[in-house]
Amino acid sequence: MGIEVLCNVENCKYWAKGDKCVADSIFVIGEHGRKATDVEETACKTFEHRE
């Protein structure tokens, strides 16, 4: 069973209607290492620009 991943970055290759992420896997990193204290300290490295 898959998990629903939502994303609102419409210019990402993996963005689909309904703000769905259709990537096979997701890679999120902490901007300042392996620990984050809030959402602003994280980033999705799965992003690929849609052509």
Domain count, the chain: 1
Distance CA 44, CA 23 (A): 12
DSSP for 8-39 reads --TTBTTEETTTEE--SS--EEETTSS--SSG
pLDDT value, residue 2: 78
Read off the DSSP letter of residue 11.
T
Question: pTM for this structure?
Answer: 0.81
- Whether 48 has a pLDDT exceeding 90, the answer reads yes
Report, as an integer, the average pLDDT of 38-46.
Answer: 94
Q: Which is nearest to 42 in space by CA: 32, 10, 12?
A: 32
As a whole-number percent, the residues of the chain with pLDDT over 90 amount to 86
| CB neighbourhood size of 15 (10 A) | 19
Domain membership of residue 39 as a residue range: 1-51
As a whole-number percent, the residues of the chain with pLDDT over 70 amount to 98
